[in-house]
Amino acid sequence: MNTKLILRIAKSLLLARWKQTLVAAIGVTFSITMFIALLSFMAGLNDLLDGLMLNRTAHIRLYNDIKPSIHQPVNISSEFKGSYNFIQSIKSSSSRNEIYNSGAIMQALKTDNRVKGVAPKITAQVFFNDGAIDITGIVSGIDAKAESRLFYFSDYVVAGNSLDIMNVSNSVILGKALADKLMANIGDAVHVTTIKQERFSLKVVGFFQSGIQELDKVQSYASISTTQKILGKPSNYITDIQIKLSDINLAPSIAKEYAQLFQTDAEDIQTANAQFETGSFVRTLISYAVGITLLIVAGFGIYNILNMMIYEKMDSIAILKATGFSGIDVIRIFIVIALSIGMFGGLLGLLFGFLMSFTIDQIPFVTASLPTIKTYPINYNPVFYIIGFTFSLATTYVAGWAPARKASKIDPVIIIRGK
Amino acid sequence: MVNTIILEAKHINKSFHNHLTVRVLNDIAFTVNKGEFVSVIGKSGCGKSTLLYILSTMDTDYEGDVLIEQETMRGKKEKQLARVRNEKIGFVFQFHYLLNEFTVLENVMLPGLKLGVLKEDEVKIKAMDLLKEFDIHPLSDKYANQLSGGEKQRVAIARALINSPSIIMCDEPTGNLDKKNGLIVFDIFKRLAEENQQTLLVVTHDEEFAKNSHRIIEIEDGRIIKQ
């Protein structure tokens, strides 16, 4: 009975001066709209910058590094077991670069459910011959299908079809900047010389643009078999296995595990790109700082509007108390009022915030370094919406509760006499 | 039933502290019996309104004690006092104090709904009966700020009566009304006391109004000088 009555009184107080109520609700809406739109936009930009790196980088890379052998003969010898052995001038051993048993390793990785996908890779150092000039370059042998699925390879192929390197024999996709240097068009043949002085002719089937000019000047892609041919290696020759995980944060621990298991070197993305980690962290920090600032500013705005609204209703509080409503009733009435405004304004804020970020999402954003991006990026993370709504309820609750509590504590006569 | 003490003021002292301490009420003691129509008169600033607020439990900052139906109001919690105001006291202010956000009928019904003894329909019927009695039932759906002063005051009286309180306290009920409306209000009070056996305690400085009531308590400089 009491709850029903309180809801009814709150409703009447809200609707009696609906313009004032609307202004208060619009205040909340505006704050939440700005919060949602700005944070979605910032997060979108962050993801874009992260993606620039993360999309194309394996979470774990398995390979055989060139390094001195850990097990030096003198240490293994039983004769010198009890002594300290000082060895000077150790040289790196020229062991094979290829991964032993790569096929079996890839099979094993595919059954591991922490792994999202596996892509093999071979790298060949070559010279691109352009008349009298030799341009250093790299031909990466890839599995175009796996590479597209895991590392969005096809997104970066700006001309031609990424799958053509698998379908057309002895074909290559050149970096756009490299192609410009070689004056090569699609369908042309380019000549490469391997470091072992063997010459090959490759057919250009496409161009790709990574967004990093330095990379585009040297990089080119061919199929695994073409690259094996260039290097003069058998068809089981694989130098790198790139692994993408379901959870990037597990990369360091899984990398250690695989290094043990497969007896290769394993490098995780966090170790390989420490500077990227820092950059990403700083950007995240900035967006949190902006988000919190927005919330604080919005919070004060909401608090002010509601506070004023309640002080204007002081008379009503005094009358209600004089006719037998207790302080608790008064607090409840105003909390219902505040929460209704918070809920209504907050939900509208979420809607407008979504519409605003959707609008930003439609604005064209074309840049040479980001061939896949056509419009400004937006991150529609539901967490922002949850935070925004919770926040609008929480601030309106506090903003309603604090002055109502103050009003409920004093004798009604104080308010009446103050007139 | 006659001569049952319904309201008792026991040695009430009250001071305002505002830089200087000013004593506004000094050892006020009197009793009111059931069915009595008592006027409290005195010059402006003599403390009669302050006394009324204390007696109606709306002011808790005083010394002494107030007994309503032989029950002390000292040391009661805010919630209990609200209940007493709701159930036992009907209060009519000088400036009517209706809630402009509600219709006339809702204004009258609210204290009844808060009490929660009767169902909503029953409270509604009772409120309509009261409005009829005061001849303002055609206005029941209007909002409080659409009424004239005299009409507002009658609505405020109807509101004070909705829970059939044992005491009705009024602060200058005719202070803002013209002669005609003042007489209407006075007639209503007289009828309440004589026909319904309800107790009335009215603060006024309308000599004529006071003369026609059963008993006059005169206050000067915070003391009772004549009962």
What CA–CA distance (Å, rounded) separates A118 from A332?
Answer: 59
Same domain, A258 and A140: yes
What CA–CA distance (Å, rounded) separates A249 from B41?
Answer: 83
Same domain, A326 and A250: no
pLDDT of residue B58: 81
Calculate the average pLDDT of chain A. Answer: 85
Same domain, A114 and A263: yes
Helix (H) / strand (E) element for B108: namely: helix B104-115
Task: Mark yes or no for CB contact A323/B86 under 8 Å.
Answer: yes
pLDDT of residue A418: 63
pLDDT of residue A51: 77
Same domain, A339 and A232: no
Same domain, A386 and A346: yes
Same domain, A244 and A290: no
Find residues 63-82 of chain B whose CB sits inside 8 Å of chain A.
Answer: 78-79, 82
Task: Mark yes or no for CB contact B86/A409 under 8 Å.
Answer: no
> Does residue A222 have a pLDDT over 60?
yes
> Does residue A149 have a pLDDT over 60?
yes
CB B92 within 8 A of CB A305: no
- Name the residue among B119, B19, B109, B10 with its Cα closest to residue B62: B10
Give the mean model confidence (pLDDT) for residues A357-368.
86
Does A399 map to a domain?
Answer: yes
Give the mean model confidence (pLDDT) for residues B7-18.
80
> Does residue A1 have a pLDDT over 60?
no
The residue of chain A nearest to residue B159, with distances taken between CA atoms, is A323
Does A81 map to a domain?
Answer: no
Among residues A240, A272, A304, which one ends one of the domains? A272
Condensed to tens digits (0 to 9), the pLDDT of residues B57-80 reads 888 878 888 888 777 888 778 888
Strand-pair category, B71-72 with B20-33: unpaired
Does A80 map to a domain?
Answer: no
- Name the residue among B55, B72, B48, B65 with its Cα closest to residue B199: B55
First to last CA, chain B: 22
**Residue B2: pLDDT band with limits 50, 70, 90:** low
Condensed to tens digits (0 to 9), the pLDDT of residues B80-115 reads 888 888 888 888 887 768 888 888 888 888 888 888
pLDDT of residue A113: 85
Task: Mark yes or no for CB contact A324/B83 under 8 Å.
Answer: yes
Which two structure tokens, joined as six digits, stand for A356?
């605003």
Give the mean model confidence (pLDDT) for residues A301-317.
81
The residue of chain A nearest to residue B103, with distances taken between CA atoms, is A12
- Name the residue among A169, A130, A129, A173 with its Cα closest to residue A148: A173
The residue of chain B nearest to residue A321, with distances taken between CA atoms, is B82
pLDDT of residue B204: 82
pLDDT of residue A94: 64
> Does residue B3 have a pLDDT over 80?
no
Residues of A with CB under 8 A from a CB of B: 1-2, 5, 9, 12-13, 15-17, 315-316, 318-329, 409, 411-413, 416-417, 419
What percentage of chain A exceeds 70 in pLDDT? Answer: 98
Choose among A324, A328, A412: nearest Cβ to B86. A324
**Number of Cβ within a 10 Å radius of residue B172:** 20
Does A73 map to a domain?
Answer: no
Does A82 map to a domain?
Answer: no
Which two structure tokens, joined as six digits, stand for A75?
């240490």
Among residues A228, A248, A272, which one ends one of the domains? A272
What CA–CA distance (Å, rounded) separates B25 from B16?
Answer: 10
What CA–CA distance (Å, rounded) separates A11 from A121?
Answer: 68
Q: Does B96 reach chain A within 8 Å, measured CB to CB?
A: no
Measuring CA to CA, how many Å separate B158 from each of A166, A167, B87, B92, B109?
Answer: 93, 94, 14, 9, 9
**Number of Cβ within a 10 Å radius of residue A223:** 24
**Residue B1: pLDDT band with limits 50, 70, 90:** very low
Among residues A241, A272, A303, which one ends one of the domains? A272
State the nearest Cα–Cα gap between A406 and chain B, in angstroms: 14
Give the mean model confidence (pLDDT) for residues A81-102.
80
Calculate the average pLDDT of chain B. Answer: 80
What CA–CA distance (Å, rounded) separates A118 from A273?
Answer: 20
Domains and CATH numbers, chain B: 36-60+76-226 (3.40.50.300)
Same domain, A250 and A105: yes
Using the structure block, give the residue that is written with the tokens 């990037």.
A248
Task: Mark yes or no for CB contact A324/B115 under 8 Å.
Answer: yes
Q: Best of B96, B98, B101 to disrupt the A interface by mutation (most A CBs within 10 Å)?
A: B101
Q: Best of B110, B152, B176 to disrupt the A interface by mutation (most A CBs within 10 Å)?
A: B110
**Number of Cβ within a 10 Å radius of residue A251:** 23
Does A85 map to a domain?
Answer: no
Give the mean model confidence (pLDDT) for residues A216-231.
90
Choose among A17, A318, A411: nearest Cβ to B60. A411
Cβ-based neighbours of B115, under 8 Å, separated by 6 or more: A324, B86, B87, B163
What CA–CA distance (Å, rounded) separates A211 from A50?
Answer: 13
Same domain, A294 and A237: no
State the nearest Cα–Cα gap between A403 and chain B, in angstroms: 18
> Does residue A97 have a pLDDT over 80?
no
**Number of Cβ within a 10 Å radius of residue A155:** 15
Which two structure tokens, joined as six digits, stand for A24?
């208060």
Same domain, A331 and A250: no
Condensed to tens digits (0 to 9), the pLDDT of residues A247-261 reads 888 888 888 888 888
The three-state secondary structure class of B162 is coil
Task: Mark yes or no for CB contact A13/B101 under 8 Å.
Answer: yes
Measuring CA to CA, how many Å separate A252 from each of A61, A193, A205?
Answer: 11, 38, 37
Q: Does B53 reach chain A within 8 Å, measured CB to CB?
A: yes
Same domain, A110 and A50: no
pTM of the model as a whole: 0.72
Choose among B58, B93, B99: nearest Cβ to A411. B58
pLDDT of residue A358: 92
Chain A residues whose CB is inside 8 A of the B95 CB are 419
Helix/strand/coil (H/E/C) assignment for every residue in chain A:
CHHHHHHHHHHHHHHHCHHHHHHHHHHHHHHHHHHHHHHHHHHHHHHHHHHHHHCCCCCEEEECCCCCCCCCHHHHCHHHCCCCCCCCCCCCCCCCCCCCCHHHHHHHHHHCCCEEEEEEEEEEEEEEEECCEEEEEEEEEECHHHHHHHHCHHHHEEEECCCHHHHCCCEEEEEHHHHHHHCCCCCCEEEEEECCCCEEEEEEEEEECCCCHHHHCCEEEEEHHHHHHHHCCCCCCCCEEEEEECCHHHHHHHHHHHHHHHCCEEEEHHHHCHHHHHHHHHHHHHHHHHHHHHHHHHHHHHHHHHHHHHHHCHHHHHHHHHCCCCHHHHHHHHHHHHHHHHHHHHHHHHHHHHHHHHHHHHCECCCCCCCCCCECCCCCCHHHHHHHHHHHHHHHHHHHHHHHHHHHHCCHHHHHHCC
State the nearest Cα–Cα gap between A316 and chain B, in angstroms: 6
ipTM above 0.85, yes or no: no
Same domain, A268 and A282: no
The residue of chain B nearest to residue A328, with distances taken between CA atoms, is B79
Chain B residues whose CB is inside 8 A of the A320 CB are 99, 110
State the nearest Cα–Cα gap between B101 and chain A, in angstroms: 5
**Residue A204: pLDDT band with limits 50, 70, 90:** very high
State which residues form the domain around A263: 60-66+95-272
Does A177 map to a domain?
Answer: yes
Give the mean model confidence (pLDDT) for residues A314-320.
82
Same domain, A24 and A112: no
Task: Mark yes or no for CB contact A324/B98 under 8 Å.
Answer: no
Does A75 map to a domain?
Answer: no
Chain A residues whose CB is inside 8 A of the B101 CB are 12-13, 15-17, 316
Q: How many domains, chain A?
A: 2
